[in-house]
Amino acid sequence: MSTFAPRPDELVKRAHAIGNYYGFTPFSVAAAAKNAKVKAPFPETLSIDALDPNARETVTFLKQVRDAGLGPSAAQPLFLWHTNAAAGRPAPKQVVIQFHALGVEHAIADAVLIRAMRALVSDITKDEARLRVNSMGDKETRTRFTRELGTYFRRQSAALPPDCVATAKRGEVFEAAEQLCASQCSEELPAPTDHLSEASRKHFESVLEYLEATDTPYELASDLLSRGTAWTETCFEITSSTKITVWGSRYGELAKHFFRTSLPSMGAIVRVTIDERVEVPSVKEKTNARFVFVHIGDEAKRESMKMTDLIRKARIPLAQAIGVESLTEQMRFAETINPPYLLIMGRKEALERSVILRERSTYTETSIPLDSLIDRLRLV
């Protein structure tokens, strides 16, 4: 295998491009627009030392969001991406890139985040990304699954590796399960999806329906476990042959420490070790998109996700907020971009596999079949 050594400036450039197409704003841009300067300590209710590395990255990001005065909500969710590679400075040895969806309970957030991170990994590695998904469920599910794991390790102790049994006896059943998975002896290990609450089961089914409807290849991975209470519901892993790995999960329990109300949230993190510590470029405040894609309803969201990679690969400058359900918020987003054209798709257009092209200066509208959309946009 050839050595994989991406440049940090290329990583940031790729993340910025993926963010534009999938509707994730750079955190630095969102914070600068808010222009708030609040410096509050980490919540006393949160034990940082007890968190895994990905959870520590997430809570640090959430603190930055709070300190920037950004207040996500169900009505006005935030889709942000962030990196530790600061503009104008040499990149760190390990570049961390995070994508987050704050304030969205609907499975659309899971699907958009997965699609965006899968596209990012494929872009930076030039390799086909492998997606594995699982669900750890909600609090009710986790309590039920904890009991099931404890019973399993007690009954099967004679046939299991001694270190796994010893870890389970200390009460660390999730760590013991991870050790068992690492030793490739987990064939009979209970699966969390067999113990999902009704609400968690419905959510995970919706996530899988989105992946299937958008032709996103995935594998169900019962051995993909999240230790501790930081992570809930959908969790996923994206890998490539270059050993780049993305970890993603919902983390509503973490988010509630930083915002006034319980906030359904999800994030994904990728770490890339680099050889060349070049200066990182500044992120543009505005995209030069000629088109903003507006979609209403699940059918339209799914079609837009399938079209996004094709439009991106054709290098057509487009922006959209796929994960935002509110038409009002999508139109507000379009106003900030101020493109010459809108692409509009509702349920009717999605079923007909068409999209409406609206010229904003004249309000002229043209219906275009999706099969010929790329060619038509190239001519506009």
Residue carrying structure tokens 């530790």:
84
On whether the CB atoms of residues 133 and 236 are closer than 8 A, the answer is yes
pLDDT in tens, 321-342: 888 888 998 999 899 889 999 9
**Two tokens, residue 346:** 């509702």
Helix-strand-coil percent breakdown of the chain, rounded to 5?
Answer: 45, 20, 35
Where does 8-136+197-273 sit in CATH, by number?
A: 3.30.930.10
Domain ranges of the chain: 8-136+197-273, 139-193, 291-379
What does the alpha-carbon distance between residue 149 and residue 256 come to, in Å, rounded to a whole number? 27
**Two tokens, residue 344:** 């509009």
H-type alpha helices, the chain? 8-22, 27-34, 53-67, 108-125, 139-155, 162-169, 173-182, 198-213, 252-255, 298-313, 327-337, 347-352, 373-379
**Two tokens, residue 123:** 């872009």
**291-379 is classed in which CATH architecture?**
3-Layer(aba) Sandwich (3.40)
pLDDT in tens, 60-115: 999 999 999 888 887 889 999 999 988 777 778 888 999 999 999 999 999 999 99
Task: Show the CA angle centred on residue 33, arms to residues 289 and 264, nearest 5°.
Answer: 85
Q: Which contacts (CB < 8 Å, 24+ apart) does range 147-155 have?
A: 148/190, 148/195, 149/173, 149/174, 149/176, 149/177, 149/189, 149/190, 152/189, 152/190
Burial of residue 366 (number of CB atoms within 10 Å: 0-12, 13-18, 19+): exposed
- At residue 228, the pLDDT reads 61
**Two tokens, residue 152:** 């399993």
The reported pTM is 0.90
What does the alpha-carbon distance between residue 308 and residue 298 come to, in Å, rounded to a whole number? 15
- At residue 2, the pLDDT reads 45
Q: Which residue positions in the chain have pLDDT lower than 50?
A: 1-2
